[in-house]
Structure 1
Amino acid sequence: MKNVSFIVILFLLGCGQQAPSVEDMASSRDTLQWQGVYHGVFPCPSCDGMDTTIELLPPNHYVIHTVRLGSDPHPYSGTGTFKWDNTGNIIILDRGHIYQVYPEHLYLLDVQFNRITGPDAERYRVDKITSQSQGKIDSPTQ
């Protein structure tokens, strides 16, 4: 009988415990030094690659430069804002690009917030080249 009472007490105590919510879990937004400059060359079906540099600035701003390698002598430069998703691990640029944030790189995601798969999957990544405190890339003139 003592064992049954002990089990019931443990069960009741355990029922009061809640699993950690998404808000309670650590997020990239709160735990990583996400600010800084990232660079990479994304695959491109109509060119030799999209040379991309993104600078993330607090609170939620970015500067982006892209060059279509081998086909377009006119690079694109722009600025804008981004928002974090509910998990605090993904940013959505106001121009529609979606990135998952890791300590030293960003992964470009598809429109359904999934990592791009296939033989070129690792090429959909930009690597951190400087921290925000180490230097900034020039903002484009508008």
Structure 2
Amino acid sequence: MKTLKTMVVAMVLGLTACNNQATTPPVENEKNKDTVVLNEQDTVHNSKNSLDWAGVYEGELPCADCAGIKTTVSINMDGSFKKKEQYNGKKGSFDTEGILVWDSTGSIITLSSKTDSTKYKVGEGKLITLDTQGKIIEGELAKHYILTKIK
């Protein structure tokens, strides 16, 4: 009988310990006192409503048949944009303008115009150019696909 009571108590303690893991706050010590622990994905804050995304961004994107493409993107609070692309070593530039569209996560914008459609992930003070599938470009040239906010 004593063994049965011990097993029942152990089982109850085991189940209770498993159920309380997610709600137990982290132990505060010097190492983690400034750390914020999130148990759930934050769906309220995103680039659209948390960052100062309007402004002018610049960078030089890689180019297959020139030294680079100097790109300037101006985004306004009303959702309008202007984009200028100058191919280094070539004459002329390409100017597009239109309205940007935010994705459902509020983190990616699409700059759509009659002649162009480019996606960017919006970060703190930067736009990261995405590939045609909307994914971040990886590899050796990845750092060259970032436009930095200048204004």
Q: Structures share a fold, TM > 0.5?
A: yes
- TM bucket (normalised to shorter chain) is 0.7 to 0.9
1:112 aligns with 2:148: no
Whichever residue aligns with residue 112 of structure 1, its letter is Q
Superposed displacement of residue 21, structure 1: 6.5
* Distance (Å, rounded) in 1 between the aligned partners of 2:83 and 2:68: 16
Superposed displacement of residue 56, structure 1: 0.6
1:60 paired residue among 55, 59, 79: 79
**CA shift digits 1:1-31 (9 cap, x unpaired):** 7884994xx68xx8xxxx8577x33100000
Q: What SS does the corresponding residue of 1:30 show, helix, strand or coil? A: helix
Whichever residue aligns with residue 50 of structure 2, its letter is T
* Equivalent in the alignment of 1:40: 59
Q: Which has the higher contact order (CA 8 A, sep 6+)?
A: 1
Give TM-score scaled by structure 2 length.
Answer: 0.71
Q: What SS does the corresponding residue of 2:117 show, helix, strand or coil? A: coil
Give TM-score scaled by structure 1 length.
Answer: 0.75
**Structure 2: gaps (5+ residues):** 1-7, 24-38
Superposed displacement of residue 49, structure 1: 0.6
Q: Which structure's CA Rg is the greater one?
A: 2
1:127 aligns with 2:145: no
* Equivalent in the alignment of 2:105: 87
* Distance (Å, rounded) in 2 between the aligned partners of 1:93 and 1:20: 31
Whichever residue aligns with residue 77 of structure 1, its letter is D
* Distance (Å, rounded) in 2 between the aligned partners of 1:4 and 1:120: 56
* Equivalent in the alignment of 2:3: none
Shift >6 Å, 4+ stretches: none
Whichever residue aligns with residue 81 of structure 2, its letter is Y
* Distance (Å, rounded) in 2 between the aligned partners of 1:110 and 1:59: 25
**CA shift digits 1:45-85 (9 cap, x unpaired):** 011111000001122110111101012x1111121011001
**Structure 1: gaps (5+ residues):** 131-142
* Equivalent in the alignment of 1:137: none
CA RMSD between the two structures: 2.3
Equivalent pairs, count:
121
Q: What SS does the corresponding residue of 1:37 show, helix, strand or coil? A: strand
1:101 aligns with 2:119: no
